[in-house]
């Protein structure tokens, strides 16, 4: 499998979010096909990065190809991968994966993080350099469908969610 280069993540967030569907997320010895993503970037009020850099969202402002893991609702972690250029807040939320081998399906950012064991320890990891966490192209072709994002109130009508059909 080919590990995706930083160049892949340095494109527009919407393109990266769409292209990530069908790619393989490698986390330690686990591999999972990404089936669902959402895009968060710029001054979109639903994005954590829309009101400037903070202690929580700083990876969104860093270089592309880094993880951004945050804790939400007191119980769940959510995994993002940052995109675009350094200084511009942008990331793709991984919402759903299908684990290879076991064929388990995790539809939801909180569920996939708890099952794969993703925690705050994995925040701000460079997926282009790390051998532990990265994204690869396994030659799988999945078509992505654009739908409205879920779980947000602001800018909810924007079709920035990509689901494998």
Partner DNA sequence: GAATAGATCCGC
Partner DNA sequence: CGGATCTATTCA
**Binding interface with DNA (CB under 7 A):** 38, 40, 46-49, 51, 54-57, 60, 68, 71-76, 78, 80, 91, 93, 108-112, 150-154
Of 93 and 128, nearer to DNA (C-beta) is 93
Q: How far is the CB of 14 from DNA (least distance, A)?
A: 14
Of 35 and 47, nearer to DNA (C-beta) is 47
Is the separation of the CB atoms in 135 and 23 below 8 Å? yes
Q: How far is the CB of 2 from DNA (least distance, A)?
A: 25
Q: Tell the burial category of 39 from Cβ atoms under 10 Å away from its Cβ (0-12, 13-18, 19+).
A: buried
Of 23 and 161, nearer to DNA (C-beta) is 161
Task: Calculate the alpha carbon distances from 58 to 51, 118, 132 in Å.
Answer: 11, 18, 21
d(CA 47, CA 41): 6
Is the separation of the CB atoms in 121 and 113 below 8 Å? no
Q: How far is the CB of 108 from DNA (least distance, A)?
A: 2
Q: What is the dihedral of CA 40, 44, 48, 49, to 10 degrees?
A: 90
Q: How far is the CB of 143 from DNA (least distance, A)?
A: 23
Of 2 and 11, nearer to DNA (C-beta) is 11
């Amino acid at each position: 499998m080919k590990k995706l280069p930083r160049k892949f993540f340095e494109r527009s967030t919407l393109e990266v979010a769409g292209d990530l569907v069908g790619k393989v997320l490698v986390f330690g010895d686990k591999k999972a096909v990404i089936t669902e993503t959402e895009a968060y970037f710029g001054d979109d009020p639903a994005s954590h990065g829309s009101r400037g850099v903070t202690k929580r969202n700083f990876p969104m402002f860093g270089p592309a190809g880094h993880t951004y893991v945050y804790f939400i609702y007191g119980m769940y972690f959510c995994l993002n991968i940052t995109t675009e250029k350094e200084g511009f807040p942008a990331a793709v939320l991984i919402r759903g994966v299908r684990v290879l081998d076991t064929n388990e399906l995790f539809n939801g950012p909180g569920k996939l993080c708890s099952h794969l064991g993703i925690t705050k320890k994995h925040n701000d990891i460079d997926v282009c350099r790390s051998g532990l966490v990265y994204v690869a192209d396994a030659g799988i072709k999945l078509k992505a469908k654009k739908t409205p994002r879920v779980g947000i109130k602001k800018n909810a009508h924007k079709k920035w969610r990509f689901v494998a059909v």
